[in-house]
Structure 1
Amino acid sequence: MRGTLPALMVCVFGVTTGEFVLAGILPGVAADLGVSIPAAGLLVTAYALGMIVGGPLLTAITAGLPRKPLVLGLLTVAIAGNLISALAPGYGVLFAARIVTALVTATFFANAIVIVVSAARPGRQASAVAKLALGMNLAMILGAPLGTYIGDAVGWRATFLAITGCCALGLLLVARFVPADQTGTRGTALGELTEFRQRDLQLAIAVTAVANIGLLTVFTYLAPLLTDVGSFAAEAVAPMLLVYGVGAALGNLAGGWLADRALLPSQLVSLAVLVAILLGLWASTGTAITAVLVFAAGAVGFSVIPGMQTRVMATAAAAPTLAIAVNASAYQVAAAFAGWLGGRVIGGPGLRAIYLAAALTTVLGIGLSAVAWLRERNAVRA
């Protein structure tokens, strides 16, 4: 575990930076390739769709393969995708490269999570997931801003070259430190698919899809919420995103610790606190309290992620990799729905009402989590 976790964290940091950084270098991409900003924005949509559709499909196809060679192969494809992105002669090639990179991302994450959980000590699985996810948090806090800086200073192609180098370093570390499979032969794709008949697994994935919509809606529209509702200057948006990201990183680690001790109860409490924070943001009129609440939203919102991942794995013992890949797709679906929901709210009751809509969808997540908790308690009593 000592070398396995850091090696996979480097990989997660590199791959996730490749996903997040595009928003910061979008104007440069559009100008260089001679396309409009909306057309360049479709690169983000293509990446999300690649993860939603390709993740579960590729994970099912590769269900019987040993994990370490599979992870090395997936990283090789990610390296190639980012390198082609850096060298792309035109928009079409870049579009195709982003889709190819997205196709392997969810499957890589799913296998990486299973590897670190398998290597973790009993009762520390959620903490292991949280530490792996720290690579994603660091990509948000450091990777995306650094990639944007490189893009502004040297050009967007240099950003993708840097990401390629980071992923290549991760591949070398995985080859050196991640042990070969110790669990014997893995199941078939058909065998893993049959696991999805379980109601508890279906419910765990539904919690991910619903409970995260609220926070994702707020994050999607955080910039206008801060400037138009919170009275922040435009220059304060970047520092506030950093505040949110630091909160997310700390909350992620704390959430892993809590989930190891009381998974579903801690999830219920965290979601209830998140509702209170969202209502506080809706009622807030001062920049200081808003800043504190934005930090708290990131911390509490991300504290539920390790537990959600661990719950999915626990309810899909015979198909953990495919279940995690589908769960990642559920998160991407939540992100896509969040963008649509926020747009509808802005066109109706207005921008500030996004906080109320986010609180309401989080309440729905609490309801699903409560059902899961009651089912677990009844199963223990039986």
Structure 2
Amino acid sequence: MPIAIYLLGLAVFAQGTSEFMLSGLLPDIARDLRVSVPAAGVLTSAFAGGMIIGAPLTAILSLRWPKRRALLVFLLVFILVHVVGAVTTDFEVLLASRVVGALAYAGFLAVGLATATGMAGPDARGRAAAVLLGGITLACVAGVPAGALLGQLWGWRSAFWAVAVVSVPAVVAILRSVPAGAPDVAAPGARRELRALRRPRLLVHLLLGALVNGATFCTFTYLAPLVTDVSGFGRQWVPVLLVLFGLGSFAGVTIGGRMSDSRPMRLLVPGGLALLVGWLLFTVTAEHAYVVFLLVFVQGTLSFAVGSTLVTRALYEAVDAPSLGGSFATAALNVGAALGPLLGGAAIGAGFGYRSPLWVSALLVALAFLTAGLARTVRRSGPDGPVGEAVPI
């Protein structure tokens, strides 16, 4: 695997830290900016919404750019908006900075996925995608808990400053290690690539990825109030539990990277079923701290193992759209990342308590199984006959 792919993963680590770190900072942000916790949760949904719009848009706009230039532009904009977020005292300005930061992150991740999978070759897309997604999960392991700890010691603004500072070495790394051109990544044109993205099998993979990721973010966004108000953990335990979730996420991406290129169904079917059972078990045992301690790790592993494998299968289905395939996979994941916190926040706002996002997570995974079953039935009854491994869950 070329070293440049790992350097792209380093940049994604810094950006992923920003995407996830609000899970440990929401109560402090809400108190400082005088909004409710569900209202502060909109910051996560806004970030995801920016990525939904930004992934295909920025990928199309930068389709003819040299890859290094595109990566640098997106990363520099990302750094700038985090400086703005760190100094603002206005919730609306912070919200706007999250959207712009998400647009930049979306562009970076979409171009990064296209560049990395092109460098890795046609039979190693899963491993290349796992390196970049591994940067996100390492953000859960190290960056997010560190952000929560910084928030407790010096306030939530210090976490925004830290993200900006950590991103700077990635700029230098890209300048020195990423080729200025686009090695092995053909750009056939936006219209032709968009036509290739209409395939039903690809759309099913993208929808399933959105549902599974929605379940993950629904609970993860409100993990801090869940474990303190329902499970009885003290605030000092929140960074520890975030580390556990991050370790599970990294393990899941690693497993997915090893299996998604050649044996995806051996992971997706049993893993998806275990994920559903895990959310249901989490729901009924959320007041038992020792069970929660275990399930945070297990659900992190299962969520990212299944989710990353769905991303890889989408990239394989989008082989004729090398530049935009990664952007649509990014957008699909962030549809889930936007939908999950909104649904979880709505459940909390309706008075169902901080346990309610767990029920929503279970419902979203169940809906993924229903969707996959319907797609499988439709395809079996179509002219192509049985689907084999076409439907992933």
TM-score range normalised by the length of the shorter chain: 0.7 to 0.9
What value does the CA root-mean-square deviation take over the aligned residues?
3.3
Partner of 2:291: 289
Sequence identity percentage: 31
Q: Which moved more, 1:328-337 or 1:197-206?
A: 328-337
Structure 2 residue 187 is matched with structure 1 residue 186:
yes
> CA separation in 2, counterparts of 1:328 and 1:181?
20
Q: Return the letter of the residue paired with 2:108.
A: F
Check whether the contact 1:64–1:189 (CA below 8 A) recurs between aligned residues. no
Question: Could you report, residue by residue, the CA deviation over 1:298-356 in whole angstroms, capped at 9, with x for unpaired residues?
Answer: 11111112211111111112224323323323222223322343355554876656545
Amino acid at match of 1:48: A
Per the alignment, residue 69 of structure 1 pairs with 69
Alignment of 1:241-256 (within 5 A): 241-256=242-257
**Aligned partner of 2:80: which letter?**
A
Report Cα offsets for 1:150-187 as digits up to 9, x if no partner: 45555655543432232221121112112332236513
Report the equivalent of 2:20: 20
> Within 2, Cα distance between the matches of 1:177 and 1:216?
33
SS at match of 2:147: helix
Evaluate the alpha carbon distance shift between residue 176 and residue 269 of structure 1 in structure 2; reply closer, same or farther with a 3 A threshold: same
Sort the Cα spacing of 1:323 and 1:246 in 2 relative to 1 into closer, same or farther, 3 A: same
Conserved? CA contact 1:263–1:307, under 8 Å: yes
**Shift in Å, 1:24:** 4.5
User: Which sits farther off after the overlay, 255-264 or 364-373?
Assistant: 364-373
CA-to-aligned-CA distance 1:10-36 (integer Å, 9 cap, x gap): 11111122233345456766787xx42
Matched, 1:300 2:298: no
Alpha-carbon offset, residue 289 of structure 1:
3.2
Match of 2:144 in 1: 144
Show the counterpart of 2:164. 164
* CA drift at 1:96: 3.9
Structure-2 separation of matches of 1:50 and 1:76 = 17
1:358 equivalent in alignment to 2:356: no
The equivalences for 1:318-329 within 5 A come to 318-329=320-331
Q: Secondary structure at the match of 1:292?
A: helix
Amino acid at match of 1:363: A
Change (3 A) 1:55 1:381: closer
Tell me how far apart the structure 2 counterparts of residues 353 and 26 of structure 1 sit (CA, whole Å). 17
Corresponding position: 1:120 with 2:120:
yes
TM-score for the superposition, normalised by structure 2: 0.82
Alpha carbons of structure 1 residues 336 and 43: separation in structure 2 relative to 1, 3 Å: closer
What does 1:49-68 correspond to in 2, within 5 Å? 49-68=49-68
Paired amino acid for 2:327: A
What corresponds to 1:46 in structure 2? Answer: 46
Kept after mapping to 1: 8 A contact 2:81/2:100: yes
| Separation of aligned partners in 2, 1:367 and 1:24 | 33
Asked if 2 retains the 8 angstrom alpha-carbon contact of 1:212 and 1:362, the reply is no
User: Post-superposition shift, 1:278?
Assistant: 2.2
* Contact 2:347–2:357, Cα closer than 8 Å, also in 1: yes
Aligned residue for 1:201?
Answer: 202
Asked whether the equivalents of residues 65 and 186 of structure 1 are also in contact (C-alpha less than 8 Å), the reply is: no
Give the count of matched residue pairs: 380
Residue pair 2:71, 2:108 contacting (<8 A) in 1 also: yes
Unaligned runs of 5+ in 1: none
